[in-house]
């Protein structure tokens, strides 16, 4: 289900930088919880507790990103995560702001994350990265955010990212597990290089997603038995 709101939502924006305001101009809500209901017909990994992911996303007006592409990729990423019993409700916010926010770059991205105060986990869609070495997508968890605490539990996706749905799910797993670990298993989502066929998660990976995600306040228990029971 998709809904759209043109009025600025109730979203807390930091006011301490009055010379560089950020204004929400449009928002969409994408509710794809039905994907888990469909997945229930084919139980995965013996995980019978459903968990809810409330995913906040932001994109700046005037970038190379189109809302339709983001929402379509998010739906497919949610389908991948549903194998772990994760339901997803995603919120996409389009905002106006200074041009410096169009690229991933500290301290500008730290300032943007602080200004928008999105719920976590959050995904920011940017044109490019100024970081070196440069990565098309970057996940910032608890372990690599000491010098940029405002960006904790966020994902930054550049317009150069390939296999967007796979990349979204891949980076979200990094954040939800608070781990940079990759897998060498065939067709595994967490292979270092994304590919259209890389969509599978193991039981151990799903358990890590759920347990760490709940412990860090990134997932909500929605019903059923405990993980793995």
Beta strand 86-96 with 2-5 is unpaired
Is 108 contained in some domain?
Answer: yes
Distance CA 102, CA 92 (A): 16
Is 39 contained in some domain?
Answer: yes
Is 86 contained in some domain?
Answer: yes
Is 14 contained in some domain?
Answer: no
> Cα dihedral sign for 105, 107, 112, 114?
positive
Domain total of the chain:
1
Q: Which pLDDT score is estimated for 49?
A: 74
Residue appearing with tokens 């954040």: 175
pTM of the model: 0.87
Average pLDDT over residues 22-50: 77
Query: pLDDT band at residue 133, thresholds of 50, 70 and 90?
Result: confident
Distance CA 52, CA 43 (A): 17
Cα distances (Å, whole numbers) of residue 93 to 56, 71, 154, 160: 8, 11, 15, 20
Is 226 contained in some domain?
Answer: no
Q: Which pLDDT score is estimated for 214?
A: 97
For residue 50, which of 79, 87, 83 has the smallest C-alpha distance?
87
Is 106 contained in some domain?
Answer: yes
Rounded mean pLDDT of the chain? Answer: 88
Please count the CA atoms within 13 angstroms of the CA of 59 that sit on its side-chain side. Answer: 22
pLDDT above 90 covers a percentage of the chain that reads 73
Beta strand 154-158 with 220-223 is unpaired
Query: pLDDT band at residue 135, thresholds of 50, 70 and 90?
Result: confident
Residue appearing with tokens 């730290």: 110
Is 228 contained in some domain?
Answer: no
Q: Which tens digit of pLDDT belongs to each residue from 63-97?
A: 999 999 999 999 999 999 999 999 999 999 999 99
**CATH number of the domain to which 153 belongs:** 3.40.390.10
Q: Which tens digit of pLDDT belongs to each residue from 180-215?
A: 999 999 999 999 999 999 999 999 999 999 999 999
Is 55 contained in some domain?
Answer: yes
Cα distances (Å, whole numbers) of residue 142 to 119, 148, 151, 177, 184: 15, 10, 9, 10, 24
The range of the structural domain enclosing residue 158 comes to: 2-8+21-220
Query: pLDDT band at residue 62, thresholds of 50, 70 and 90?
Result: very high
């Amino acid at each position: 289900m998709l809904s759209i709101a043109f009025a600025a939502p109730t979203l807390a924006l930091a006011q301490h930088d009055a010379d560089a305001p950020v204004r929400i101009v449009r928002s969409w809500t994408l509710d794809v919880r039905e994907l888990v209901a469909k997945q229930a017909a084919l139980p995965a990994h013996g995980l019978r507790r459903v968990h809810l992911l409330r995913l906040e996303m932001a994109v700046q007006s005037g970038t190379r990103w189109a809302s339709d592409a983001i929402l379509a990729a998010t739906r497919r990423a949610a389908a991948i995560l549903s194998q772990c019993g994760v339901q997803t409700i995603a919120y996409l916010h389009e905002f106006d702001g200074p041009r410096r926010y169009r690229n991933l770059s500290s301290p500008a991205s730290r300032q943007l994350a602080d200004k928008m105060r999105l719920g976590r986990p959050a995904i920011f869609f940017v044109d490019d990265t100024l970081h070196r070495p440069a990565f098309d997508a970057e996940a910032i968890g608890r372990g690599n955010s000491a010098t940029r605490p405002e960006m904790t539990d966020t994902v930054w996706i550049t317009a150069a990212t390939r296999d967007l749905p796979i990349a979204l799910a891949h980076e979200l797993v990094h954040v939800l597990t608070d781990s940079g670990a990759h897998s060498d298993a065939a067709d595994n989502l967490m292979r270092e290089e994304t590919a259209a066929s890389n969509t599978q998660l193991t039981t151990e990976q799903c358990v890590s997603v759920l347990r760490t995600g709940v412990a860090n306040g990134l997932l909500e228990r929605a019903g059923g038995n405990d993980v793995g029971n």
